[in-house]
């Protein structure tokens, strides 16, 4: 590994319905990303769908991910800054789109 505050995690153990990762799981990495601090902490999630050969970026508030996607909770709460987080997920893009819509709808229903 090189110099700098870069951390990498690769999890492929558990099988997730609809996931299409090379090992049947979800893979994600965290790396240093530049930028200014925002009032709302927004995370960019890079989704790679190997079956469709499509890549798409999604954005989601950190608080929403921590609250409703327990899979990411440990990694998101350990990060010192939202600028240090960059998540890459290997799964079906349509399933991830549905999941993000569901989370955002659930959150808006709970707030209002």
Q: What is the pLDDT along the chain (112 residues), one digit of tens a residue?
A: 443 333 333 333 333 333 333 333 334 444 434 444 436 789 999 999 999 999 999 999 988 998 888 888 888 888 888 778 889 999 999 999 999 999 989 888 888 7
CA neighbor of 28 nearest in space, from 45, 3, 4: 45
Residue 23 to residue 91: CA distance in whole angstroms: 11
Residue 101 to residue 104: CA distance in whole angstroms: 5
pTM: 0.62
């Amino acid at each position: 590994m090189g110099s700098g505050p870069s951390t990498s995690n690769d999890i492929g153990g558990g099988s997730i319905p609809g996931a299409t990762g090379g090992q049947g799981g979800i893979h994600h990495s965290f790396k240093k990303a530049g930028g200014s601090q925002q009032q709302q902490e927004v995370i960019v999630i890079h989704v790679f769908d190997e079956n469709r050969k499509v890549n798409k970026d999604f954005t989601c508030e950190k608080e929403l991910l921590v609250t409703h996607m327990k899979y990411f909770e440990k990694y998101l709460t350990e990060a010192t800054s939202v600028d240090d987080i960059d998540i890459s997920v290997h799964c079906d893009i349509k399933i991830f789109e549905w999941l993000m819509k569901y989370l955002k709808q659930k959150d808006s229903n709970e707030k209002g």
